[in-house]
Amino acid sequence: MKNLSLILASTLLISCNQWSDDDSAKFLEQCEKTKWEKEFCDCAIEKVKKEYKSFAEISDNEKQMADILLDCMIKKNKD
C-alpha cells in the first residue's frame, strides 16, 4: 500500500511538470492568431516546451519568451 501511494504521488508530480495537449493547443492557437506562419509557431512551441513547464508559466517570463520568439525569427530568416 505504501508503494502504491508513492507511485501515485510521483505520477502526479511528474504530470504537473509537463505540457498537456490542452497547453499545446492554447499556445498554437495564440500563435496562429498573430498570423505567424506554421513553421514559426512550430519552432516557438518546441523551444517553449523545453524552457517552461506549462503554458501558464509563460506569462511570468515575458522577457525570456520574447528572446525565444526572436530566436525563431532569426532562424526563419536564415532558412
pLDDT tens sequence across 56-75 = 888 788 888 888 888 998 88
Domain-embedded: residue 23: yes
Q: How much is the pLDDT for 15?
A: 43
Domain-embedded: residue 3: no
Domain-embedded: residue 33: yes
pTM equals 0.67
Domain-embedded: residue 10: no
Q: What is the pLDDT of residues 36-58, one digit of tens each?
A: 888 999 999 999 999 888 888 88
65 lies in which domain range? 19-78
* Total number of domains in the chain: 1
Q: How confident is the model at residue 16 (pLDDT cuts 50, 70, 90)?
A: low
Domain-embedded: residue 46: yes
Q: How much is the pLDDT for 6?
A: 32
Domain-embedded: residue 63: yes
Domain-embedded: residue 2: no
DSSP codes of every residue in 6-74: HHHHHHHHHHHTS--HHHHHHHHHHHHHTT--HHHHHHHHHHHHHH-SSHHHHTT-HHHHHHHHHHHHH
